[in-house]
Structure 1
Amino acid sequence: MVLSRPTICIISFSPIARDARVLRQIDYLTPHYDLVVLGYGAPPQRWQNADSVRWLSIDPPRWYEMQHLKALLIAGKVWQPSVCYELWYWLQRLYRQAFEQLRQIRADLVFANDWSALPLGWRLAARWNTPMILDLHEYAPLEWEEQWKWRLFAAPMTVYFLRHYAVHAAATLTVAPEIARRYHKEFGFLPTVVLNAPEYAPVEDHTVDPHTVRLIHHGGAIRARALELMIDTIRLCDRRYHLSFMLVGDEGYIRRLHAYADRVAPGRVTFLDPVAPDQIVPKIASFDIGIFLLQPTNYNYSIALPNKLFDFIHAGLAVCVGPSPGMAAFVREWRCGVVAPSFDPAEVAATLNRLSAEEIQTMRCAARAAAARMNASTEMTKVVELCNRLLRRAQAAR
């Protein structure tokens, strides 16, 4: 008799094919479990014919679908917040359709990614009498704190969902130690930290050319991140430096960056076509320095340890960051790059201009050492072991 494997239901209201953290969950859980995965859009090509994964696609919300629900967030400030916030959530097409797709399926464990999946995840876990893991990719109450509407209306709602539902999670995860400490202080649960590190694979090394130093920045084209700062930096750097962008997302903003680079730093900035998350490290390994100037305009930006930081070190790149506390502490601890004293392009450029090719080479060696210590295997083993433990406990309780 062949025993069926347990089934884990992974919920993530994100474009699954580009969500590196969720894809790592799928990569490491599939050898042990059958999966049901719900998210935006089609899966990556390599997963489309996998027998052990059932994909459920849902369309992301359209901006106009949520306009009439804003009144509920306002009402939640003055009248029965729990009623208003629950109505705001369950009146949305997105969450109702997700529940309808999943309600007929039976899973043994629910894996909810971020606060937006939390009410749905808990409703399904209660329906199936199964444990739920909550993976918080940010410190949710302050996710967009620089926007007054978020602070006034959305933040109280996320606090409500966390207080009402997260306390019932069998386990919680998050992406950085400081975020884990803050959740513990503010909400009483202590998430396990699972860093956003990719799979470790040795990449071909190369000698840094003292006359041509290549910088790379990849990721989302998000206006709030002010990517123009890096163009202004390269404009002020020695002529040996050249910057490449590999961006996804806001096409209008990418066109604007193209035009700005052509105007202020002609011939010194290149825009590359994006690649799938699992191809980023080999794609950028031929560069010398990974650069990310993330001004700490909100709490999550200040303590961020983002995917791209780990992509840089796994590609064997030196790292250049501004004084964002989270990334700056990491770079200093591992001696794998430089931290500019401010986000002023002139000071960042001066920091880069002082580097010799030999110093960059030394930092790249340190990055490789860090990658060997922090990678998907070391981090995702925590997730697999947690799922094993929760499923054994659930089975013993039946």
Structure 2
Amino acid sequence: MKRIVVSVSNDLVTDQRVAKICRTLHELDYEILLIGRKNYSPFVVNRDYKTKRMRMLFNKGFLFYAELNIRLFFLLFFTKKDILFSNDLDTLLPNYLVSKIQGKELIFDSHELFSEIPELTNRKFVKSVWHRLEKWMLPKLKKVITVSDSIKKHYQDLYKIQVTVVRNLPDLQEINQNPFPFSIKGKTVIVYQGAINVGRGLELMIGTMKLLENHLLVIIGTGDIIDVLEAKVLNEKLENSVKFMGKILPEDLKRLTSNADIGISLEEDLGLNYRYALPNKVFDYIHAEIPVIASDLPEMKKLIQKYQVGEIIKERTSEELAKLIEEVAQKDYTKALSVAKQELNWSREKVKLIKLLQS
């Protein structure tokens, strides 16, 4: 039985992509060790394979990444393995060094264009460091996975490497609803799920709620600007129109999302990472069988238009968004959502991962 060590910089709890990939590896009879970090989350990680979460001294900034990479290097170096599986650029350096020193196979899964994330836009030196690391390591990699065709093309054009697209699609399963912990009677419910960070279009959506009667916005997740958004809701007296639910386990989230009427993914064009994004939540909305309103960005636009499961916002104003929400609420997307759900699921997508592993 081959041993594979999978590493990621998050706390493992809500990373559905890594969970599905590890489950698929487990089904293929790999012996797995999944390494992440321990944060202040109350949630417990229970898997059918070994997991290890490092409790970090630092939780953000340069010291966090330095500690993560140093500790991960020594952990990987002294752990028995046949294959290393690195998730995102922030874990690639220790994986790459260990793979070279010990002659081990390395698979790299790029969940996003890490060196192009909006948080680095005004931090030129930090951004240049990540770019240099990427430029040094990626051209030497043999097995690279990513989440969208646009990121694949970016890497292939820039580094002349082969890249396999494995989208982060949900499992195909029946919808079992749990109610929201508040009344939604008589309301058109709009849901956002995911990271609460800069550039997600949440300020626009909250501002739009002033123009919509009998509508409720439910925001699920945590992130850097949660306090700012909560203050905005209070200042604009929208407490009855916007609800924050915090971080929720993926299995519980699936039971809630299907109670909504519309899902939103309104990322701004703040650099290549968002421009090329194909967010997990778009697929989650489809599997919850609710239509999607998404940004006019290439990957989301291509998906929405191909399957006709929602609409694209062309003009990012509250007036245009309110009008679009009311139009979507009146249309029937049931058949299109059902077709998309049958095609866009992990049982089909994982075949590409299996072929890569067997090559």
> TM-score over 0.5 for the alignment?
yes
Q: For residues 275 and 54 of structure 1, do their structure 2 counterparts lie closer, same or farther at Cα, with a shift above 3 Å needed?
A: closer
Instruction: Find the counterpart in structure 2 of residue 11 from structure 1.
Output: 7
The aligned amino acid for 1:17 is: V
**Structure-1 residue corresponding to 2:181:** none
Q: What is the TM-score of this pair, normalised by structure 2?
A: 0.88
- Give 1:307 shift: 0.9
In percent, how many aligned pairs have the same letter? Answer: 23
- Structure 2 counterpart of 1:282, from 219, 234, 255: 255
Matched residue SS, 1:117: helix
CA shift in 2, pair 1:279/1:376, >3 Å: farther
Alignment match, 1:350: 323
What RMSD in Å do the two structures reach over aligned CA positions?
Answer: 2.6
Q: 1:119/1:229 Cα in 2 relative to 1: closer, same or farther (>3 Å)?
A: same
Q: Tell me which protein shows more helix as a share of its residues.
A: 1
Residues 76 and 95, structure 2, Cα contact 8 Å, conserved in 1: no
Aligned twin of 2:303 = 330
CA–CA separation in structure 2 for the residues paired with 1:64 and 1:307: 25
2:295/2:314 contact within 8 Å kept: yes
Q: Which residue of 1 aligns with 2:314?
A: 341
How many aligned positions are there? 349
Residue 363 of structure 1 corresponds to: 333
Q: In structure 1, which of residues 98, 101, 123 is the aligned counterpart of residue 75 of structure 2? A: 101
Q: Distance in 2 between matches of 1:174 and 1:312?
A: 21
Residue 8 of structure 2 is aligned to residue 38 of structure 1: no
How do residues 150-299 of structure 1 correspond to structure 2 at under 5 angstroms? 152-203=124-175, 212-237=187-212, 239-250=213-224, 253-264=225-236, 265-299=238-272
Unpaired stretches in structure 1, ≥5 consecutive residues:
68-88, 390-398
Greater Rg over alpha carbons, structure:
1
Aligned in 2, Cα 1:370/1:60: closer, same or farther, shift over 3 Å? farther
Distance in 2 separating the partners of 1:190 and 1:279: 37
Deviation at 1:154, TM superposition (A): 3.1
* Displacement over 6 Å in runs of 4+: none
C-alpha distance in 2, partners of 1:189/1:334? Answer: 30
Segments of 5+ residues of structure 2 without an aligned counterpart are: 178-183
Check the 8 A contact 1:16/1:40 in 2, yes or no. yes
Q: Distance in 1 between matches of 2:35 and 2:138?
A: 20
Q: What is the CA distance between 1:220 and its match in structure 2? A: 1.2
TM-score (norm 1): 0.80
User: What letter matches 1:348 in structure 2?
Assistant: L
Letter in 2 for 1:40: R
Q: CA deviation at 1:246?
A: 1.0
Q: By how many angstroms is 1:211 displaced?
A: 5.3
Report deviation, 1:65: 5.7
Q: Which whole-Å CA distance do the structure 2 matches of 1:64 and 1:6 have between them? A: 35
- Give 1:168 deviation, angstroms: 2.8
What secondary structure does 2:194 align onto? Answer: strand
* Compared CA separation, residues 369 and 320, structure 1 to 2 (3 A): same
Per the TM alignment, residue 125 of structure 1 is displaced from its structure 2 partner at its CA by 1.6
C-alpha distance after superposition, 1:259-287 (max 9, x if no partner): 32244334111222432123322221111
SS of aligned partner of 2:118:
coil
